[in-house]
């Protein structure tokens, strides 16, 4: 089992939903994750994944992802016409640039290079457990779109609202697993 210690950076709180969950955050107050420390135990063994991004620029990929805002949520789908689940959205965006990535969010557990949340930048992927913070398995993900003064935003396919922007909040913080960098 891998133990991942989570120590974050100051982030704005905003009420959002996660992929596969209908539970909403119960607080709209600002949350300082510098003060939060928790441990997520990854229970599922996931092989290391190498992703070849070749000559794609992270900013181009994120700009394309942002054109998907408002596409509805649909479990198990990676087709824009039908809607996306969280990993289907990631697949659709990366596949547009001919970058092959794992299909499911849990398969991203050992993909890319882990970076500290405060060092995240546009194009990094943010991983969470699913709606059960104690599941021990990555079950939701998004693409970091901005990191300003340790407050960052990500784009993801939410079960409640489809493709949307979110910041870390009281719903996401306990489910945060890590940020991974795919682009050099």
Select which of 62, 111, 140, 154 is catalytic: 140
Select which of 42, 71, 156, 173 is catalytic: 156
Select which of 9, 42, 86, 182 is catalytic: 86
Q: What is the distance between the alpha carbons of residues 97 and 100, in angstroms, rounded to a whole number? A: 9
Is 154 in contact with 169 (CB distance < 8 Å)? Answer: no
Tokens 């600002």 sit on residue: 30
Our answer to whether residue 142 is catalytic in this structure is no
Tell me what percent of the chain is helix, strand and coil, each rounded to the nearest 5. 20, 35, 50
Our answer to whether residue 19 is catalytic in this structure is no
Q: What is the distance between the alpha carbons of residues 177 and 52, in angstroms, rounded to a whole number? A: 23
Q: What is the distance between the alpha carbons of residues 129 and 106, in angstroms, rounded to a whole number? A: 9
64: Cβ contacts below 8 Å, ≥ 6 apart: 93, 96, 97
Is 164 in contact with 69 (CB distance < 8 Å)? Answer: yes
Our answer to whether residue 140 is catalytic in this structure is yes
Going by their DSSP bridges, the two strands 151-158 and 162-167 should be labelled as antiparallel
Query: What are the residue numbers of the active site?
Result: 86, 140, 156
């Amino acid at each position: 089992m891998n133990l991942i210690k989570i120590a974050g950076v100051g982030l704005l709180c905003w009420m959002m939903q996660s992929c596969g969950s209908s539970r909403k955050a119960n607080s709209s107050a600002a949350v300082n994750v510098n003060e939060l420390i928790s441990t997520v135990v990854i229970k599922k063994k996931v092989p290391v994944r190498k992703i070849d991004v070749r000559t794609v620029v992270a900013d181009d990929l994120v700009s394309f992802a942002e054109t998907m805002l408002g596409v509805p949520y649909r479990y198990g789908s990676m087709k824009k016409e039908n809607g996306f689940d969280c990993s289907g959205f990631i697949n659709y965006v990366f596949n547009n640039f001919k970058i092959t990535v794992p299909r499911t969010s849990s398969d991203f557990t050992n993909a890319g290079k882990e970076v500290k949340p405060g060092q995240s930048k546009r194009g990094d992927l943010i991983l969470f457990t699913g709606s059960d913070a104690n599941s021990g398995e990555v079950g939701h993900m998004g693409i970091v779109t901005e990191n300003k003064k340790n407050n960052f935003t990500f784009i993801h396919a939410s079960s409640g609202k489809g493709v949307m922007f979110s910041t870390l909040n009281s719903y996401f913080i306990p489910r945060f697993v890590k940020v991974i960098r795919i682009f050099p």
